[in-house]
Amino acid sequence: MRAAEAPAARPNPAGRHLCFAYADLDEFLTRARAFLADGRAAGAQVRLVGDGLPDLDGVRAESLPDVYDVIDPAAQVDYWAGALADALAAGHSGLQVVGEVTPLVRSAAFGDYEHLIDRFIAQHPISGLCGYDRRVVDPAVLAELACLHPWHNVPEVPFRVHAAAGTGDLAISGELDVTGAAALVRALDRVSPALVEGELFVEASGLDFVDHRSLLQLASYARGRGATAVLRTPLPAAARLVDLLQVPGLRVEAR
């Protein structure tokens, strides 16, 4: 992937990738203003992208079509890699972007892009706040997209499938139970994590709960790819359930 060659990784490169769903535009703009202020304070270049948005504290809103052409996930990540390189070259510490991306949800490839940019953000000094208008986006679609961010505010999907900061490895955080079961399956299919010698490592230090259904789903996904899922989590419940269920395709590393 060309994006990975762009700016060299720095000692503390990981950015933040947030999903903010709102039902009131002012609520989103307040959050966006704070996010841009954080970036400015950290010496990052700041950008604001979204149709029909007002300028925020002197940051001019760029229109979506100017930044996101047709959604080609890899090309779009390359675009941000180039923008980051330019920002660093100009002496900024990184890049901090607010995007009101609701209109992009129509593209089936947008979810792939969200995950690809998440992996890039996890290893580079670029941060993004993605705004979604709850009044417009189908709730199931919103859940699917929200859970691809390391942080989101969508209670219907109580977990996150994201890239681990620094390494970019697959991480799962939050609570996995029946509430998010359908979204978990789709997220795993979407991110299609890499296998290492037949094992699929899941960094789960941020996992707060996992029930037996989710463990069975993870095992079933791994088996479908001819692999064993390795859940790295200190949660005693995970180790105990795996021991009880004796599920092929899954083991827990307590750490």
Binding site for other proteins (CB under 8 A): 158, 175, 177-179, 209, 211-213, 216, 235-237, 240-241, 244
- 3-class SS string, 105-165: HHCCCHHHHHHHHHHHHCCCCEEEEEEEECCCCCHHHHHHHHCCCCEECCCCCCEEEEECC
Q: How far is the CB of 127 from other proteins (least distance, A)?
A: 28
- In angstroms, give the least distance from the CB of 187 to other proteins: 18
Residue 196 or 245 with smaller CB distance to other proteins = 245
Minimum CB separation from other proteins for residue 254, in Å? 13
Q: With respect to other proteins, which residue has the nearer C-beta, 44 or 176?
A: 176
Q: Which is nearer to other proteins, 53 or 238 (CB)?
A: 238
74 vs 235, which CB is nearer to other proteins?
235
**What is the enclosing helix (H) or strand (E) of 239?**
helix 236-245
Inter-residue long-range contacts of 58-64, CB under 8 Å, 24+ positions, other chains counted: 64/100, 64/101, 64/103, 64/104
DSSP H helices, 42-109, are 64-67, 73-89
Distance in Å, CB of 216 to other proteins, minimum: 6
Q: Hey, what are 156's tokens?
A: 């219907």
Cβ of residue 78: shortest distance to other proteins, in angstroms? Answer: 39
At 38 the three-state DSSP class reads helix
Q: How far is CA 110 from the centre of its chain?
A: 12
Closer to other proteins by CB, 190 or 212: give it.
212
- Name the nearest CA neighbour of 203 among 176, 231, 165, 244: 231
Closer by beta carbon to other proteins, 81 or else 242: 242
Smallest distance, Å, CB 235 to other proteins? 8
Contact predicate 22/93, CB 8 Å = no
